[in-house]
Amino acid sequence: MSQQNKNEWPLWEVFIRSKAGLDHKHAGSLHAADAQMAIENARDVYTRRMEGVSIWVVESKYIRASDPGEAASLYEPATDKIYRHPTFYDLPDEVKYM
C-alpha cells in the first residue's frame, strides 16, 4: 500500500445492511477525519435513497485482503473434494426445502 498523503483524511470502507437484509454489504469507501464523521458521511453518501438501516465503517488500513497471486494455492485444492459437501444424504420429503 502506498504511503498516504499526510494532508488527506483517512480512508474508510463502508458496509450497509438494508432493511430486509441479514448482513452488511460493502457499499463503497469515503474519507473522514474520525469514526464519528465516517458514520455520518456514510449516512449522507450511502443511505440517501433508503439503501440501508445499519452502517459499519472500518478504516481501510485494517482490511487485510488475500493476494490474488496466491489464488491457485488458496482456492484450487477445494475444487475436487466433493466429500466436503453435504450432498450424500437422502432428505425426507418433510425437509425437502432445507
Partner 1 sequence: MSLIYTLRLADDALILGHRISEWTGHGPILEQDIAITNTALDHLGRARSLYQYAAELFNQLPDAQKTSVFTSVAINALVAAGTPVDEDDLAYLRDSGDFRNLLLTEQPNGDWACTIARSFYYDAFHYFYFSALQHSSNAALAAIAAKSLKETTYHLRWSSEWVIRLGDGTEESHNRMQQAIDDMWMYTGEMLTMNAAEQEALAAGYGVDIAQIAPLWQNRVKEILEEATLTLPLGTWMQQGGKDGIHSENMGYILAEMQFLQRAYPGMEW
Name the site residues for partner 1 (rule: CB under 8 A).
Answer: 9, 30-33, 36-37, 40-41, 43-45, 48
Q: How far is the CB of 36 from partner 1 (least distance, A)?
A: 6
Q: How far is the CB of 44 from partner 1 (least distance, A)?
A: 4
User: Would you call 66 helix, strand, or coil by DSSP?
Assistant: coil
CB nearer to partner 1: pick between 18 and 29:
29
In angstroms, the CA 35 to CA 41 distance is: 10
- Which secondary structure element, helix H or strand E, spans residue 26, and what is its range? strand 25-31
Residue with cell 445492511: 17
CB nearer to partner 1: pick between 8 and 67:
8
CB nearer to partner 1: pick between 30 and 55:
30
CA 94 to chain centre: 35
Q: How far is the CB of 6 from partner 1 (least distance, A)?
A: 14
Give the ranges where 2-65 is alpha helix by DSSP (H): 35-46
